[in-house]
Structure 1
Amino acid sequence: MEQYVRVIPYKLIEENEEINEVPKGVELIQAPQIWNKTKGKGIKVAVLDTGCDITHPDLKDRIIGGRNFTDDDRSNPDIFYDYNGHGTHVSGTIAATENHAGVIGVAPEAGLLIVKVLNKAGSGKYEWIIKGIHYAIEQQADIISMSLGGPADVPELHEAIQAAVEKNILVVCAAGNEGDGDDATNEFAYPGCYNEVVSVGAINLERGSSDFTNSHNQIDVVAPGEGILSTYLNGKYAKLSGTSMSAPHVSGALALIKTYANQQFERPLTEPELYAQLIRRTVPLGNSPKLEGNGQVYLTVPDHLAGIFDQNFKTMVANAL
């Protein structure tokens, strides 16, 4: 029986025709506080998902290319439109453009490479995912964002991710929504529990751990994942919940970190160095490491991206939250 990967299950809260605000999740990770330093310009984020509404006013200027690997549109590789909504929502959280209308993403000047590996039903073959990862490598993506998963540990998928990391590409994955709120139990979804990826769990907008977020010892960080406002189909906006919504916050954060850190160090940082820069920008929330890893992404800790990590400052900020 052929196995499939699916979008990490998510919940649609509401749709909106018009909106004009900075989403609360973007604010919670402190992205606006560093936009005077960087907005992610020059960074290419490959979004492996259900495609994208390429005509959405908040996204059309951010899309720099794409490819369809699914059976939608008779497998035409040049049509990577989203018929599901999931990929459009994820893309907006990463890089919705700053146009003084709609929403704005974490890294509003980053480029989006739309890699459609899930079809209109939100389902995809492992073969599609693996081809999508290799395509992102060929296109020299800086970051691969995957809000998808399945129960099977497929060696070829793992090898593709390892190949990306070897090329200094950061791979960010949703942890999964099979959690039960109990850190004594483990819930595994692949690729989110591979050691090589940045595995992202979910918190709510009050910084509480989401009941649905998977727990295991490979969780790296948490980010907002409940009631997240972003772009949606047909030029609309929607609030969705799930670790699918948490992962793109981190993908966008890494786009900001990479641009600024490379400037400060005056050289390209390696994947392990960029991962370390991310972990330095977290605050603990008091949950088990199996639920929150190193804590919530918080981009202003420390207040400059090239600084030496100060544990006392981190604790002080965490206590103030």
Structure 2
Amino acid sequence: MSNENEKVKLPEYEVNEELSSLSQRIDWGLRQMNVPSTWSVTKGEGITVMVIDTGHPLHPDIGDNVIEGKNFIPKEPIEDENGHQTHCTGIICAKDNQAGMVGVAPKAKCISVKALAKNGSGSYFGLSQALQYAIEVKPDLISMSLGGNKYDAGMREKIKQLYKMNIPVICAAGNTGWGGVNWPAAYPETISVAAHDEQGNIATFSSRGEMVEWAAPGVRIYSTFLKGMYRSLSGTSMACPFVAGVIALMLAKHKKQEKETGKNDCKTVDQIREHLLKYTMDKGRLGKDEAWGYGVIDVEKLIKGEKPEPKPEPKPEPKPEPKPEPKPEPKPEPKP
């Protein structure tokens, strides 16, 4: 079923504070996941992340780490006038330049695509156009912190095509709590991301559902904003680019290994999922659940190649004891 006129919009997110910054700040999410310790291995060199959102960021802390892509919003400039894409892009690739803040993958490049207007709204049709552009450009991965309420067959086909092209699409699960996971995060081909806070609790606003796969920092996340400023925001919109940045680091590491050894076992979307799952710390209920998905990625071990923690095995059900066959009663011998 096609719903190309259906609205797609930013998940409702919380604004915590607006700041300017001279010295570089490493936000709690990066510190908690020990991301800076992985930069001795890679900072995301050679990886391109397409960010589909509210427009091209103009921020000195991102600078030439962002490449101007395409605008699918008529009568608006391609530049970000909302601030949402600037914030998400900073989480992925803000420079490690001793000023402002630093992204998860500070040497990756982001391609900016505008599919949402200044007011944060767009359409499934515009989003499908943006995904078609991604099919043509072939980035290494895509980050989308947006969502709608309905399934759309046309958009699903674009995402299926990207999946077949080995381009992972990372999506924010949504900020509706128990209201369910948004589309496109609900498509099985995408990687759906929930949000947790600094204390290790799933965010109250984070959408729950069986399609949630991982949770990442998404409460009071400090990043780049409009007019060279910085802002702390809360939402799965912030958790999504965090996971996109982690995947950028992982892909950069494996591309480097491929040049050295000729081998790369992290090319397909399924292989990427397998690697993330191998280095996941289970949270919430044992195993996958509707709030945390599989859990939280152990970024340090994922990138540095340390042996993952053994996952608890479910206790097998005891097998029933076999019942002995009844011995046949001896038949009485007939009397002569």
Q: TM-score, normalised by structure 1?
A: 0.89
Given the alignment, which residue of 12, 15, 18 partners 1:15? 18
Indicate how the Cα distance of structure 1 residues 303 and 49 shifts in structure 2: closer, same or farther if over 3 A, else same. closer
Any idea what SS the aligned residue of 1:104 has? coil
CA contact (8 A) 1:302 1:310 kept: no
- CA offset digits 1:264-296 (Å, max 9, x no partner): 353452221122112222212234611111111
Given the alignment, which residue of 217, 223, 230 partners 1:224? 217
- CA offset digits 1:95-129 (Å, max 9, x no partner): 10111101000000000100110000100111111
Comparing 3-12 with 256-265, which one deviates more in the overlay? Answer: 256-265
Indicate how the Cα distance of structure 1 residues 313 and 9 shifts in structure 2: closer, same or farther if over 3 A, else same. same
Tell me the residue number matched to 1:127.
125
- CA offset digits 1:250-272 (Å, max 9, x no partner): 00000000111233353452221
CA contact (8 A) 1:280 1:301 kept: no
Query: In the aligned structure 1, how far is the partner of 2:111 from the partner of 2:303?
Result: 30
Q: After TM superposition, give the deviation of residue 302 of structure 1 in Å.
A: 5.1
Given the alignment, which residue of 174, 177, 181 partners 1:176? 174
Query: In the aligned structure 1, how far is the partner of 2:303 from the partner of 2:224?
Result: 29
CA contact (8 A) 2:301 2:307 kept: no
1:270 pairs with 2:268: yes
Query: In the aligned structure 2, how far is the partner of 1:124 from the partner of 1:64?
Result: 22
- One-letter amino acid of the structure 2 residue matched with residue 112 of structure 1: C
- One-letter amino acid of the structure 1 residue matched with residue 290 of structure 2: K
- Counterparts of 1:18-167 in structure 2, within 5 Å, are 18-19=21-22, 20-54=24-58, 56-73=59-76, 79-167=77-165
- One-letter amino acid of the structure 1 residue matched with residue 233 of structure 2: L
Given the alignment, which residue of 220, 233, 237 partners 1:244? 237
Larger Rg: 2
**Percent of residue pairs identical:** 35
Query: In the aligned structure 2, how far is the partner of 1:17 from the partner of 1:127?
Result: 37
Given the alignment, which residue of 208, 212, 216 partners 1:215? 208
Indicate how the Cα distance of structure 1 residues 285 and 3 shifts in structure 2: closer, same or farther if over 3 A, else same. same
Tell me the residue number matched to 1:311.
310
Given the alignment, which residue of 177, 187, 200 partners 1:194? 187
Any idea what SS the aligned residue of 1:172 has? strand
Query: In the aligned structure 2, how far is the partner of 1:203 from the partner of 1:87?
Result: 20
Query: In the aligned structure 1, how far is the partner of 2:102 from the partner of 2:231?
Result: 13
Q: What residue ranges of structure 1 are gaps of 5+ in the alignment?
A: 74-78, 181-185, 315-321
Comparing 218-227 with 61-70, which one deviates more in the overlay? Answer: 61-70
- CA offset digits 1:212-259 (Å, max 9, x no partner): 111111111000110000000000000000000100000000000011
Query: In the aligned structure 2, how far is the partner of 1:95 from the partner of 1:294?
Result: 25
CA contact (8 A) 2:93 2:105 kept: yes
CA contact (8 A) 2:284 2:291 kept: no
Comparing 23-32 with 110-119, which one deviates more in the overlay? Answer: 23-32
- One-letter amino acid of the structure 2 residue matched with residue 275 of structure 1: R
Any idea what SS the aligned residue of 1:177 has? coil
Query: In the aligned structure 2, how far is the partner of 1:132 from the partner of 1:285?
Result: 34
Query: In the aligned structure 2, how far is the partner of 1:219 from the partner of 1:239?
Result: 24
Query: In the aligned structure 2, how far is the partner of 1:112 from the partner of 1:72?
Result: 24
Indicate how the Cα distance of structure 1 residues 256 and 313 shifts in structure 2: closer, same or farther if over 3 A, else same. farther
Tell me the residue number matched to 1:183.
none
Runs of 4+ residues deviating >4 angstroms: 307-310
- One-letter amino acid of the structure 1 residue matched with residue 225 of structure 2: Y
CA contact (8 A) 1:52 1:87 kept: yes
Tell me the residue number matched to 1:292.
292
Query: In the aligned structure 1, how far is the partner of 2:284 from the partner of 2:38?
Result: 26
Query: In the aligned structure 1, how far is the partner of 2:226 from the partner of 2:79?
Result: 10
Indicate how the Cα distance of structure 1 residues 312 and 149 shifts in structure 2: closer, same or farther if over 3 A, else same. closer
CA contact (8 A) 1:207 1:285 kept: no
Q: After TM superposition, give the deviation of residue 310 of structure 1 in Å.
A: 4.5
Comparing 94-103 with 63-72, which one deviates more in the overlay? Answer: 63-72
Q: TM-score, normalised by structure 2?
A: 0.85
Output the aligned Cα RMSD: 1.9
CA contact (8 A) 2:80 2:118 kept: yes
Any idea what SS the aligned residue of 1:128 has? helix
Q: After TM superposition, give the deviation of residue 168 of structure 1 in Å.
A: 0.5
CA contact (8 A) 1:53 1:235 kept: no
1:205 pairs with 2:198: yes
CA contact (8 A) 2:181 2:212 kept: no
